């Protein structure tokens, strides 16, 4: 296959580009795909452009989208139209279009059926007006797509928010719709790499109210916009979208971090997005780290280079261009060292991750194409460079580093505080408050799930005598040894804690009474085998009980305590259940 890329600022330059392509086009081919990423947002101009391409190249498939920036051979091209001519040797290209005037859910079902019957389908490219087309409803019907089929693409955009956006083919121009390009081939390899670079910050917030799947009404039962007001001092006004560009919300879904950047706000404090947000999910504010963004891009480029592609298409979020400013050149410049590369800046990106077609924000999606086996020697990755950012980006990078390090230190400190708050300092197992809370939650939870739950209560025999005879230092050693015996004889899913003084409690989720008695006997035998005292063995009395169906915590605890009482008054060093 072969890709030829041209860049024009006026329609008058189009004929020259077409002529140059025709002169270099191979004589034999299976398909030609012309991708147009244009700065023009006038439907008449787009119609003239596609008509001219079709008249001069009637055998070609033509698709395109409006954009907020073009990418040509690793360089940003502003206010221009990028033309990518991809000529395939044994790949067949099929183009479909879908309008908002039809049911997108039904269209998704029909398109899935078409894809399932298409021989040698290896990839699908989507370009959509994500602000006005129900792409989520469409993609929701595509779950039955062969997992080996890769999916990628982007959302149409424009340089000004009040300008029209379009996706188009040589037959139709849509201001609310989607175009799909299917690649069918016995030899085509498509490699998709994606990079992010925004890091979550602060506490998770639950989406407590939505309207549809593109509007978040409430976060933690408060108007969604209040999050930006409280933490960033960003208030609803004409500059709201511009001010939030570096601070999306991030949701963890299907093993991936997905950014959700608000497009605008509503009078009731709701936030409007161009990608789906689900009630009940948790989100966090995120901040852009220039160094992380560029590091991710280098990893993407190395991943593509290992596949040795013959052509590359790039779909990058316009927010990355705005955020990185002049440093965007560092993100793009190595792509042309891998293969001929063309692309556009989008309003939302499309990628298939974890078997799900996701609509993304703030992401760069790079797609490498190669037909057949690698020709010639594989390219070796270049030496990864340390990029020196300047001016505002240098400041942003240092602030991001500061935030990352201090946030990590704060999380570490919080973990230590949480551990101290829940741990008995002497024995280093759970303290009374923590083990009692876990016991109560386990009684309720296991009862609701219909699974068994047993608990062991242990009391060291004659402990006061040990303290009086050998001193508190030896008493402390006995307590720590008992705690170690408990830890060594229970599962990772169990919990052991110091109930108070010389009493301990062990919670055994999923264990029936018989199994719990075996654990208790093992604990009793192990403890009594320890040679800690010069004139006697350390022994313990243990009570065991299993939660009965429908039993509440109070009655269960009374039975457990009664079993321990019986063990202590039946000769000690025994287990009673």
| Domain of residue 549, CATH code | 3.30.70.270
| Strands, E assignment, 326-398 | 340-346, 349-353, 356-360, 364-371
| Range of the structural domain that residue 323 is part of | 2-196+291-371
Among residues 371, 401, 417, which one ends one of the domains? 371
Residue from 528, 537, 536, 532 nearest 475 by CA: 532
Are residues 501 and 457 part of one domain? Answer: yes
**Cβ atoms 360, 259 nearer than 8 A:** yes
Q: Measured between alpha carbons, how far is 53 from 83 in angstroms, rounded to an integer?
A: 10
Residue 325, classified by CB atoms within 10 Å of its CB into exposed (0-12), middle (13-18) or buried (19+), is middle
What's residue 388's pLDDT?
59
Question: Are residues 240 and 98 part of one domain?
Answer: no
Residue at which a domain ends, from 269, 288, 307 = 288
Are residue 316 and residue 278 in the same domain, yes or no? Answer: no
CB 542 within 8 A of CB 529: no
Residue 500 lies in a domain: yes
Residue 163 near residue 86, CB atoms below 8 Å? no
Largest CA distance in the chain: 104
- Residue 289 confidence (pLDDT): 81
CB-based burial label for 414 (10 Å; 0-12, 13-18, 19+) = exposed
Locus of tokens 């703030």: 362
Tokens of 504: 């301990």
Within this chain, do residues 213 and 175 fall inside the same structural domain, yes or no?
A: no
Rounded to an integer, what distance in angstroms lies between the CA atom of residue 158 and that of residue 39? 7
| Number of structural domains in the chain | 3
Residues 168 and 29 occupy one common structural domain: yes
Which pLDDT score, from 0 to 100, does residue 381 have?
58
- The helix or strand, by DSSP H or E, that contains position 193, with its residue range, turns out to be strand 188-195
Strands 121-128 and 150-155: parallel
Strand pairing category for 540-546 and 575-576: parallel
Name the pTM for this structure: 0.71
Query: What burial class does residue 34 get, using C-beta atoms within 10 Å of its C-beta: 0-12 exposed, 13-18 middle, 19+ buried?
Result: buried
Q: What per-residue string of b and e applies to 529-568 under the rule 16 or more CB within 10 Å gives b?
A: eeeeeeeeebebbbbbbbbeeebebeebbebbeebbeebb
Are 126 and 231 found together in one domain? Answer: no
The helix/strand count (H/E) of the chain reads as 16, 31
Domain finish residue from 288, 308, 338:
288
- The 10 Å Cβ neighbour count of residue 205 is 20
Are residue 164 and residue 245 in the same domain, yes or no? no
Q: Domain for residue 394, yes or no?
A: no
| Positions of the chain with pLDDT under 50 | none
Q: Is residue 474 part of a domain?
A: yes
For residue 31, the model assigns a pLDDT of: 97
Which residue is associated with the tokens 């002529």? 19
| Residue 184 within any structural domain of the chain | yes
């Amino acid at each position: 296959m072969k890709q030829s890329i041209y860049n024009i600022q006026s329609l008058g330059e189009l004929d020259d580009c077409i002529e140059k392509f025709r002169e270099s086009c191979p004589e034999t081919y299976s398909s030609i795909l012309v991708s147009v990423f244009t700065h023009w947002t006038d439907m008449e101009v787009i119609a003239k452009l596609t008509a001219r391409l079709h008249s001069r190249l009637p055998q070609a498939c033509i698709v395109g989208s409006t954009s907020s920036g073009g990418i040509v051979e690793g360089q940003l091209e502003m206010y221009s139209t990028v033309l990518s001519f991809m000529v395939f040797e044994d790949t067949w290209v099929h183009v479909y279009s879908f309008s908002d005037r039809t049911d997108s859910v039904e269209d998704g079902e029909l398109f899935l059926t078409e894809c399932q019957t298409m021989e040698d389908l290896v990839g699908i490219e989507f370009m959509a007006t994500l602000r006005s087309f129900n792409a989520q409803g469409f993609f929701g019907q595509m779950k039955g797509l062969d997992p080996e089929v890769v999916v990628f693409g982007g959302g149409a955009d424009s340089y000004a928010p009040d300008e029209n956006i379009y996706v188009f083919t040589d037959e139709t121009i849509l201001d609310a719709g989607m175009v799909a390009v299917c690649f069918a081939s016995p030899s085509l390899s498509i490699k998709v790499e994606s990079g992010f670079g925004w890091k979550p910050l602060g506490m998770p917030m639950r989406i407590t109210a939505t309207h549809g799947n593109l509007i978040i009404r409430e976060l933690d039962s408060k108007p969604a916009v209040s999050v930006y007001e409280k933490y960033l001092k960003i208030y609803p006004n004409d500059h709201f979208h511009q001010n939030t560009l570096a601070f999306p919300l991030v949701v963890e879904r299907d093993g991936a971090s997905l950014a959700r950047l608000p497009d605008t706000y509503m009078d009731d404090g709701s936030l409007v997005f161009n990608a789906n947000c689900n009630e009940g999910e948790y989100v966090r504010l995120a901040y852009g780290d220039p160094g992380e963004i560029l590091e991710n891009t280098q990893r993407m480029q190395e991943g593509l280079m290992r596949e040795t592609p013959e052509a590359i298409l790039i779909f990058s979020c316009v927010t990355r261009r705005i955020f990185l400013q002049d440093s965007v050149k560092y993100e793009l410049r190595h792509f042309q060292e891998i293969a001929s590369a063309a692309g556009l800046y989008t309003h939302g990106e499309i990628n298939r991750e974890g078997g799900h077609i996701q609509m993304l924000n703030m992401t760069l999606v790079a797609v490498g194409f190669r037909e057949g086996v690698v020709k010639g020697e594989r390219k070796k990755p270049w030496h990864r460079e340390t990029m020196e950012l300047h001016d505002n980006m240098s400041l942003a990078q240092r602030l991001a580093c500061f935030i990352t390090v201090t946030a990590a230190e704060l999380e570490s400190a919080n973990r230590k505080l949480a551990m101290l708050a829940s741990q008995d300092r002497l024995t280093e197992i759970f303290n009374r408050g923590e083990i009692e809370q876990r016991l109560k939650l386990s009684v309720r939870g296991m009862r609701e799930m219909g699974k068994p739950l047993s608990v062991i209560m242990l009391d060291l025999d004659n402990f006061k005598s040990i303290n009086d005879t050998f001193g508190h230092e030896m008493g402390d050693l006995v307590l720590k040894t008992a705690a170690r015996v408990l830890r060594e004889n229970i599962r990772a899913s169990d919990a052991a804690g110091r109930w108070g003084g010389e009493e301990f409690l062990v919670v055994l989720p999923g264990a029936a009474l018989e199994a719990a008695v075996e654990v208790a006997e093992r604990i009793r035998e192990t403890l009594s085998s320890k040679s800690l005292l010069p004139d006697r063995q350390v022994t313990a009395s243990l009570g065991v009980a299993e939660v009965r169906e429908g039993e509440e915590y109070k009655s269960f605890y009374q039975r457990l305590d009664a079993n321990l009482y019986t063990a202590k008054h039946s000769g000690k060093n025994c287990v009673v259940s």
